[in-house]
Amino acid sequence: KRTVPTPSDILARKGGTPLVCLTAYTTPIAQLVDEQCDIVLVGDSVGMVLHGLPSTLGVTMDMMVMHGQAVARGLSRSMMVVDMPFGSYEESPEQAFRNAARLMAETGCSAVKLEGGVEIAPTIRHLTARSIPVMAHIGLTPQAINTLGGYKVQGRGEDAKRILADADAVVEAGAFSVVLEKVPANLADEITARIPIPTIGIGASAGCDGQILVVDDMLGLFTAFKPKFAKRYATLGQDAATAIESYADEVRAREFPAAEHIFGDTAPEPKK
Ligand code: KIV
Ligand code: NA
């Protein structure tokens, strides 16, 4: 039987069997992904895939706490990491500590994730030195969409130096793992070979120490748009649409409810 890995266990998986990671935002999906995942991330992608927000910028601490609590109720084997939302950590290391401590205390998560490299490394250091394990996130950082100017590949050509410096900075600051989002595969491989902590790729490379996807993307539940890296393993959104259409047809045709779904005026004899 698997036991819940700690951030140190995850760190020790560097270079080993790739880490299986997915997001989750609700108890039933958490129960499903718990069977297979090493790490379950309560991502701020929740704002886009479950709340209909146009980006992750409108996600709040209260949303992360509520979804974190829901996911925690569904996990028994995977390690839970919760994203720090936009505006909850950038102001100062003190602000970051206060909000990270709240996420850990109120959700029971093992670690938090925050976006940024060189610029945010002092904040990562502040947290890791005060008993808060940090997963870093570099490359495409969706909370920076407005300054990055779109969801573009990061670190092509000369720009690779910037991402390499970010990778070194988060390692130096004590992060136990780092998400590499939407960077060229050769750069992801170079970073994976260079740093001593697991790299978790999304739109990166099969050579990373682990992979993560947004669960609603891979199940085909979120279809507003599809990033190239978001492989669809199922079409649950289409299946749901078909089911809803069948229900509507049966209601209009008075075929639902049928005899097995309705009640008689007298209770059946109790079974002996
Ligand atoms: O919010 C999220 O789902 C994420 C993953 C895609 C890494 O940050
Ligand atoms: Na995120």
Spell out the domains of the chain, with CATH numbers in brackets: 7-239 (3.20.20.60)
Query: For residue 2, what pLDDT band results from cuts at 50, 70 and 90?
Result: low
If you measure from the C-alpha of residue 172 to the centroid of ligand 1, how many angstroms do you get, rounded to a whole number? 22
Ion ligand 2, residue ranges at CB < 5 A = 43-44, 83
Please answer whether residues 202 and 181 qualify as being in contact, where contact means their C-beta atoms are separated by less than 8 angstroms.
Answer: yes
Number of neighbours of residue 186 by Cβ within 10 angstroms:
13
| pLDDT for residue 267 | 87
User: For residue range 77-93, what is the model confidence (pLDDT) as tens digits?
Assistant: 999 999 999 999 999 99
Task: Say whether 181 is catalytic.
Answer: yes
Report DSSP state, residue 116: B
Is 269 annotated in a binding site? The answer is no
Contact 63, 71 (CB under 8 A): no
In short, whether 212's Cβ falls inside 6 Å of ligand 1 is yes
Average pLDDT estimate for 149-175: 97
Distance 266 CA to ligand 2 centre (A): 55
| 200 within ligand 1 shell (Cβ under 6 A) | no
CA distance linking residue 120 with residue 126, whole number of Å = 10
Is 115 within any annotated ligand binding site? yes
Residue 45 alpha carbon, nearest atom of ligand 1: 1
User: CA of 31: how far to CAs of 13, 46, 178, 194, 261, in Å?
Assistant: 23, 17, 25, 35, 29
pLDDT for the residue 1:
52
Res 228 pLDDT > 70? yes
Cis peptide before 227 (omega within 30 of 0): no
Which residues neighbour 150 within 8 Å (Cβ) at sequence distance 6 or greater? Answer: none
Q: What is the rounded CA–CA span in Å between residue 42 and residue 82? A: 5
Cα of 2 from ligand 2 centre, angstroms:
26
d(CA 21, CA 113): 13
CA–CA distance, 162 with 187 (Å, rounded to integer): 11
Among residues 119, 172, 181, 255, the one annotated as catalytic is: 181
Kindly give the number of the ligand 1 atom that is closest to the alpha carbon of 181: 7
Does the model's ipTM exceed the 0.90 cut? yes
Structure tokens at 62: 């209260």
pLDDT at 270 over 90: no
Give residue-wise pLDDT tens across range 82-122: 999 999 999 999 999 999 999 999 999 999 999 999 999 99
SS3 (DSSP) at 210: strand
